[in-house]
Structure 1
Amino acid sequence: MSTDDANDDSRSDADGGHCSTADSDGEVATEIAIIAFERKRGTAEEITAELDDRYETIDIIEYHGDVFEEHWGEYDCFIGLMASGIAMRKTAHLLEDKWEDPAICVVDEELTWAIPITGGHHGANQVARDLATMGAVPAMTTASEAAGKQGVESRAKAMDAHVVNGDSTVKTNLAVLDDTLGPVARLDGPRAVLVGNDVTVLKRNSDDGCVIGTGSVSGASTESFIAAWETALDRTEYDVGAVEFVATATRKEDEEGLLAAVEELDLGLVVFDRETLLEHEGPTPSKSKELIGWPGVSEASAIAGSAERELVLEKIGYENEVTVAIGR
């Protein structure tokens, strides 16, 4: 949804129209305000048209000296269509807590650079990636993204979960950088868990959906992945909207067709290492275990990632390129 009202003072926490705090639980930002000078309004409208279907709200607000302060707390993320220095000077005094502050991503009028300056893991990095579809280079400086690794906040988003104890991510993201964190462990309850300040707790947003487990031959196409998943879902009670995430093996995480498919369907991707998949091996025999020591990827990853750790659809193949199983 988009609005042209640059001076709408009717928004309030009471009307439920906007979040009273920023994206403090690790989920992607959903309500965006583009702050732009009047002369750059055309570019702001182009951004709105491109990103409109990816967010619940995108509003265009004309820039003035107190614009950020006036709308602070109404949006998950601000896109500043301006020099980064302006956005930094006008918001510095408003910043209090990384888990409470709205994310801010600045972009130039030529859409050359998209630069997250606050809340990288809480919406700004995602907005920068979305602006990349318009040609902007996402200049992300958060350590895990700069190193090409998936931080714990990104893992939470991919798994349709949120971070419960945000302060812990300082230590766990350092472990990500050092390649010592390992896969996300799943604990089924009811049970009580005592954790230290170096353990990040992720809580699912919903347990009603399903998980797509998938494997493939090397070089499988985007179209084959999507067609395989849709074919598998058609054999269950679920549709794409009910998919929590797609799961696969670490050895498949760089498959270009897979990455493009999850992006096209706006799904998260979770990868599991060999040891985790061996613990959740599915019922269908797989030659890969004999040849390379890996269990069948599609069933094992569907079981490992799903809430109840059970299959609603055992492995099926598509065009000798992609295998799929569905877990819940």
Structure 2
Amino acid sequence: MSTDNNDSGSSCKAPDSDGEVADEIAIVAFERKMDTADEIVEGIGDRYETIDVLEYHGDVFEEYWGEYDCFVGLMASGIAMRKTAHLLDDKWDDPAICVVDEELTWAIPITGGHHGANQVADDLASMGAVPAMTTASEAADKQGVEKQAKALDAHVVNGDSTVATNLAVLDDELGPVERLDGPKAVLVGDDVTVLKRNKDHGEGVVLGTGSVSGATEDQFVTAWEQALESTDYDLEDVEFVATATRKDDEEGLLSAADKLNLGVVAFEKEVLEDFEGPTPSKSKELIGWPGIAEASAIAGGRNHDLVAEKTRYDDAVTVAVGR
């Protein structure tokens, strides 16, 4: 069974050459579990370019190894581990593996957490499964560089560097991704992760965003549109949405960004303090955080400056435009 969803309008995804996200997945299921496999296709199939269902047999992983970005094993984790262990070679080339039980209770990334398995587990969470992630950045509720790459519509060029840079993420020492426009030659060390854009966004802008808890998808979309009206830019010029880690689980923000095919980059408090905006903020007085909208817009912009200071929509969403 195969479902092609190239026109689904789901969130932007990087090429699978580096295995950083999953665009093409295969659900491997025993015959008796095909109804659950079909349920998964129905529930999250529109988030992928291709989603196939393969009936399990002893050599199914070996037969299709390399043809998919991620295998979703509808089976016990031990089966998936034993049947794929001898196939594993390099985490940047191997397909990711995520297992889920028949009741859709647990979604467990086995290998390739940062290369598609965590993404699939997150998607299965929308169907009620608990994503059991053990990668360090996710366990610490931080956004690793691979996840940042996806939000920036980029991919990691030098995978070995992510060990050092993700440790810096855990220690709140990485800061925002720096931009460099060429033509230029760059000399970097082993502890510098290079992200390559998947497409040229030109002189794009960043939507720095704060909100009250529970703001809706429509409120976010309208606030972004209105903020851009005061500039020479529109939604097609937006590179990504920037916010604070304390807001990175806002359902309305995430669904609005997904609707507009935008990634979300979340900055730690320490980063935002280094890029504080010009407009006084009540949040600094009340909770010690700088104003999220302006600080995240400045931190995320290539030039670290503002195109438009913060505006507030419907007493719910605050937006600043950075460049």
**Category of TM-score, reference length = shorter chain:** 0.7 to 0.9
What's the secondary structure of 1:277's corresponding residue? coil
CA–CA distance in structure 2, aligned partners of residues 189 and 102 of structure 1: 33
- What residue in structure 1 maps to residue 81 of structure 2? 88
Change (3 A) 1:307 1:56: farther
CA–CA distance in structure 1, aligned partners of residues 20 and 118 of structure 2: 12
Kindly indicate whether residue 135 of structure 2 is the aligned counterpart of residue 142 of structure 1: yes
What's the secondary structure of 1:286's corresponding residue? coil
1:246 deviates by 0.4
Change (3 A) 1:58 1:211: farther
Kindly indicate whether residue 126 of structure 2 is the aligned counterpart of residue 128 of structure 1: no
- What residue in structure 2 maps to residue 181 of structure 1? 174
1:66 deviates by 1.0
Equivalent residue letter for 2:168: A
Deviations 1:250-302 (A, max 9, x none): 56546565355445656322134235524xx5xxx623399769886545544
Instruction: Give the total of aligned pairs.
Output: 305
- What residue in structure 1 maps to residue 239 of structure 2? 244
1:324 deviates by 2.6
- What residue in structure 2 maps to residue 157 of structure 1? 150
1:62 deviates by 0.9
- More divergent stretch after superposition (81-90 vs 179-188): 179-188
Kindly indicate whether residue 188 of structure 2 is the aligned counterpart of residue 214 of structure 1: no
CA RMSD of aligned residues (A): 3.2
- Selected match of 1:270 from 262, 265, 268: 265
- Selected match of 1:47 from 32, 40, 50: 40
* Contact residue 298 and residue 325 of structure 1 kept, 8 A: yes
* Contact residue 311 and residue 318 of structure 2 kept, 8 A: yes
Change (3 A) 1:275 1:190: farther
Change (3 A) 1:199 1:216: closer
- What residue in structure 2 maps to residue 321 of structure 1? 316
1:314 deviates by 6.1
CA–CA distance in structure 1, aligned partners of residues 33 and 58 of structure 2: 16
Change (3 A) 1:211 1:127: farther
1:316 deviates by 4.1
What's the secondary structure of 1:175's corresponding residue? helix
CA–CA distance in structure 1, aligned partners of residues 211 and 305 of structure 2: 25
Equivalent residue letter for 1:213: L
1:242 deviates by 6.1
CA–CA distance in structure 2, aligned partners of residues 290 and 37 of structure 1: 52
TM-score normalised according to structure 1 size: 0.80
Equivalent residue letter for 1:277: F
Deviations 1:136-161 (A, max 9, x none): 11111111111211111111112211
List gaps (5 residues or longer) in structure 1.
5-21
CA–CA distance in structure 2, aligned partners of residues 299 and 181 of structure 1: 20
- Selected match of 1:169 from 162, 172, 176: 162
* Contact residue 214 and residue 322 of structure 1 kept, 8 A: no
**Structure with the larger RCO, 1 or 2 (CA within 8 Å, 6+ apart):** 2
Change (3 A) 1:290 1:29: closer
* Contact residue 215 and residue 297 of structure 1 kept, 8 A: yes
* Contact residue 205 and residue 238 of structure 2 kept, 8 A: yes
List gaps (5 residues or longer) in structure 2.
5-14
1:71 deviates by 0.7
Identical-residue share of aligned pairs (%): 72
1:110-125 counterparts in 2 under 5 A? 110-125=103-118
Equivalent residue letter for 1:258: L
What's the secondary structure of 2:126's corresponding residue? helix
CA–CA distance in structure 1, aligned partners of residues 129 and 282 of structure 2: 43
Change (3 A) 1:172 1:131: same
Kindly indicate whether residue 281 of structure 2 is the aligned counterpart of residue 288 of structure 1: yes
* Contact residue 24 and residue 122 of structure 1 kept, 8 A: no
- More divergent stretch after superposition (312-321 vs 143-152): 312-321
